[in-house]
Amino acid sequence: MSQNPNTIASNETRRSQILDAAINVLLKKGFSSSSMNDFIRASGLSKGGVYHHFKSKEDLLMGVVNRYFEEYLAEVTAIDLSNETAYLQLKYFLTGHQDLLLKMGNLSQLLMDFYAQAAYIPRLRDQFRTQYVTFQRYIADIVKIGIDNGEFVNTTTPNAIASGLIGVFDGISAGVLIAPDDIDFPNFAVEAAMAMVDGICI
């Protein structure tokens, strides 16, 4: 028996409401210092309403992480650039999502907390690894196309460039936590990443 579409929409709305509340709590208190009761109070829903969607604090953490990556992947892959040069594909990947990059910068504190928790939560670590490999392969494939097309230096190692580009954004977004007034995110990250791409161009 299929679910009523209105029920499905209502469930999705409540789930989103809980995740929004969880993000606010996590930004204020961090994962270790927050509790399910904090998330329940912030959501404005009943305890049963929250536990219907998330059975534990760890489940809720996974829900926040999964939504973040789903939104990011949907944004990144929204436009088909396969007919463009590899250089333009990388440029769009690095510069074409300013709103999303700003959001990432604003959530850098949260993401660093998640990275720390990944050392103790195997399924969170597995999720980060899955997403990292996805992005690394995506970028490395574009770099390989650029090498094959004669756009990039043929001694370039695609996986190294992909890891370096990811590292630029991760490192500079982490720096925002330490010196927010001195780091213009995402502009610094975009400029540094594009310098790396320019460096492999023929």
Same-domain pairing of 67 and 128: yes
Same-domain pairing of 160 and 187: yes
Please give the model's pTM, rounded to 2 decimal places. 0.83
Same-domain pairing of 72 and 115: yes
Same-domain pairing of 30 and 108: no
Domains: count for the chain = 2
Same-domain pairing of 86 and 152: yes
SS (H, E, C) 8-56: HHHHHHHHHHHHHHHHHHHHHHHHHHCCHHHHHHHHCCCHHHHHHHCCC
Backbone angles phi, psi at 127, to 5 degrees: -65, -45
Same-domain pairing of 45 and 136: no
* Residue ending a domain, choose from 19, 38, 55: 55
Look at residues 33, 104, 22, 25 and name the one whose alpha carbon lies nearest to residue 62: 22
Please give the residue range of the domain that contains residue 27. Answer: 1-55
Same-domain pairing of 85 and 138: yes
Same-domain pairing of 114 and 39: no
Task: Name the 3-class secondary structure at 81.
Answer: coil
pLDDT in tens, the chain (202 residues): 555 555 555 888 999 999 999 999 999 999 999 999 999 999 999 999 999 999 999 999 999 988 888 877 777 777 788 899 999 999 988 887 777 777 766 677 888 889 899 999 999 999 999 989 988 999 999 999 999 999 999 999 999 999 999 999 889 888 888 898 999 988 999 999 999 999 999 9
Per the CB < 8 A criterion, the answer to whether 201 and 86 are in contact is: no
Same-domain pairing of 93 and 142: yes
Same-domain pairing of 25 and 109: no
CA dihedral 90, 130, 157, 171 (to 10 degrees): 70
Same-domain pairing of 7 and 79: no
| Interatomic CA distance for residues 50 and 56, integer angstroms | 9
Per the CB < 8 A criterion, the answer to whether 72 and 65 are in contact is: no
CA 81, 87, 93, 97 torsion: positive or negative? negative
Same-domain pairing of 45 and 84: no
